[in-house]
Amino acid sequence: MRLATPALRDLPAWPARTPAGWGVLTTGARQVARTAGTGRGFDERVAEVRSLLERGEIDGLRARLHERQTARALVDVWQHDGELAARTMRGALVREMVTPTHDRPRRLLTIALAHLHLTYFDLLDEWEVGLFAELGAIVRAAVGALPVPAGKPSGADLLTAFRRRGDVMTDERGPSTVAGEVIARDVSLDEWLRSHGLLGATDGRFGQLLRQAIYLERIRTVDPARPEDLDFLDDFSDTALVHAAGMDGLQFGHLVVQAMTSRTSTRPSDRWLRTILDVAGDPRLEHTPRWARWWQPLPSECVRTMRRWLSIEDLKVFLDAVERFGESEGRYDLQRMFPARKTFLLGLYESEVVLETRLIMGDNARDSVNRQLGGYKADISRYPTDRHTAVIVVDCGEFFLVEGSHNFKLYVYAGRPPGDLMDRRTRVFDGALLKEDLPYRHQETHPFGHRAVEAFVHNGLWQGRALEYLVAELRQDLDPKKLLEPSDYLSLAQRGLPRLGARTLR
């Protein structure tokens, strides 16, 4: 069920002082947990245990795990040395630590193990398969076996947290569960942690994943088209945040981009698109190291979605170039035809047939566009034939278009565009290629022959003729009302709307 947007918008941002506050509390809690009840000589025992682990003398260590100080020292070494923990922390050692000759688990050791579990959390299974579940079960069993102190304030410590929410803290998807609760209840994460006794125990992987899950939950519930609700996206300019380890072997930035491109919005805001581009770069530039790092690990649907979203930006850039050229040059014919061209191209996008677009522009047109763009940095190839001309290629899957701003027909092609036309490594396209070579090659190679390409001059009811070709001959089920201005639709309706597949090309 989708959460209400207002609750999300009202969710307080983390104050700048909050991470520092967590650090102070965590340091204090860690020091208390480390030294309480350890007795004299604890630091010497820690050094001794570390030496045994580093030398691989595990049997000698096992023989002393019945000693409380040795058991605590072992947890302390693991807690503060992740590399050594990764090499030596195994389920068998943990089991021997908590099941010596005592009738019930020791309270301070249980607290230390709970901290250890939250510190490494999902990393545990990378060290030994099943270690995450085993340590979680050991901690929960130990907590359950301890007596509840009479008169203990509710939510005051880590043991209480495990008694109440052990199911969440021993579940790899627990951070996502907590994130949903935080947003649904419209509370700050700081408040949730304090009420559950966890405020000083979240500087490890559990806390990191919890904060990441809050971001991902916001992404899943906010409206991508409302930039006023997207201030939290500014946090992703922090490279340390997006480069941090996420779940399933991905960096957090991968999870952010995957969550953002999983939304169903057809027109997300510029702020939404800019964030994705800032984190992962342009998904159309496949032959770059940045693409390999950020887009290749993601599901292909994420790439397709972002390409579709960028196509609406390209369409707006192209149409803006057409409109400005008509106005600056006093071209009344271009100004008069502009609404029809805009409706036709945007209608294809709204019909959800556009997969990808490509901008090609003369130097003056490109410079002018780049000055106007602001946040969106379009990928624009060069058109050396005319410095004022703007061209757009529109890949619609079963057909594609090539259209220019002026002195350029609308070319409609059956099938997919050739590879070199969409290959972003090719950066220059001249008029002869786009107006002569490309149509000729397509007619020579496509099964439809000379009928695989139709060129339409922008005058009269040109869009009606293009629609006739698409619907009647290429069998594209397009709604004329989406592609035509109301007056043009009425004119075409009087002549007769195109019928699907009315003419065959074979």
Q: With cut-offs at 50, 70 and 90, classify the pLDDT of residue 2.
A: very low
Q: What is the mean pLDDT of residues 469-475?
A: 96
- Rounded Cα gap, residues 121 and 98, in angstroms: 19
Q: With cut-offs at 50, 70 and 90, classify the pLDDT of residue 504.
A: low
Q: With cut-offs at 50, 70 and 90, classify the pLDDT of residue 321.
A: very high
Smallest CA-to-CA distance from 105 within 57, 72, 134 is with 72
Question: What is the separation of C-alpha 188 from the centre of its chain, rounded to a whole number of angstroms?
Answer: 23
Smallest CA-to-CA distance from 398 within 416, 380, 382 is with 416
| Residue 12 clears pLDDT 50, i.e. is over it | no
**Token pair listed for 401:** 């278009």
Helix, strand or coil, per DSSP, at residue 359: strand
The structural domains of the chain, with segments of one domain joined by +, span 5-207, 223-298, 306-495
Please provide the average confidence, as pLDDT, over all residues in the chain. Answer: 89
| Residue 117 clears pLDDT 90, i.e. is over it | yes
Q: What is the mean pLDDT of residues 117-140?
A: 97
| 24-80 pLDDT, tens digit each | 555 555 555 555 556 679 999 999 999 999 999 999 999 999 898 999 999 999 999
Report the range of poorest mean pLDDT among 5-9, 195-199, 222-226, 357-361: 5-9
Angstrom distances, CA of residue 454 to CA of 32, 277, 342, 436, 468: 78, 35, 20, 12, 11
| Residue 333 clears pLDDT 90, i.e. is over it | no
* Burial of 446 per CB tally in 10 Å (0-12, 13-18, 19+): middle
Q: What is the mean pLDDT of residues 110-115?
A: 95
| Residue 319 clears pLDDT 60, i.e. is over it | yes
| Residue 347 clears pLDDT 60, i.e. is over it | yes
Contact (Cβ atoms closer than 8 angstroms) between residue 421 and residue 358: yes
| 202-254 pLDDT, tens digit each | 889 999 999 999 999 999 999 999 999 999 999 999 999 999 999 888 999 99
| Residue 505 clears pLDDT 80, i.e. is over it | no
What confidence score (pLDDT) does residue 104 get? Answer: 59
Q: What is the mean pLDDT of residues 282-288?
A: 96
Q: What are phi and psi of 380, to 5 degrees?
A: -120, 120
| Residue 98 clears pLDDT 70, i.e. is over it | yes
What confidence score (pLDDT) does residue 36 get? Answer: 55
**Token pair listed for 70:** 């040795």
- Rounded Cα gap, residues 193 and 182, in angstroms: 10
Contact (Cβ atoms closer than 8 angstroms) between residue 329 and residue 282: no
17-39 burial, b for 16+ CB within 10 Å, e for fewer?
eeeeebeebbeebbeebbeeebe
